[in-house]
Amino acid sequence: MISHFPRLVSDDIAVLKSAILEGVGIAMLPHATISQELADGRLLRLLEPWEPAEGLITAVFPSRRGLLPSVRALIDFLAKSF
């Protein structure tokens, strides 16, 4: 087993993107957020044949408090579906 001590841990996509562009390390980010950087060569795709499991989905929202019922229903639906 290899011990690993991350230099940065964050759940903020913008922070992670900025960090990888500065050479801090690696991250698994949604393709849509880094497609331009991949296209122009500023980022490289690692583990090329590997793909995350299909159906992986993340819902990001500021707080459950004050959430519209329609948004809550969508989140509940996605949670059951994935």
* Continuous H helices in 6-56: 13-21, 31-39
Residue 27's pLDDT is what?
Answer: 92
First to last CA, the chain: 31
Total-model pTM? 0.61
Helix then strand then coil, in percent of the chain rounded to 5, is 40, 0, 60
- Side-chain-side CA neighbours of 80 within 13 Å: the count stands at 5
30-77: pLDDT as tens digits: 889 999 999 999 999 998 888 777 767 777 777 778 889 998 898 888
| 25 backbone dihedrals φ, ψ, rounded to 5° | 175, -150
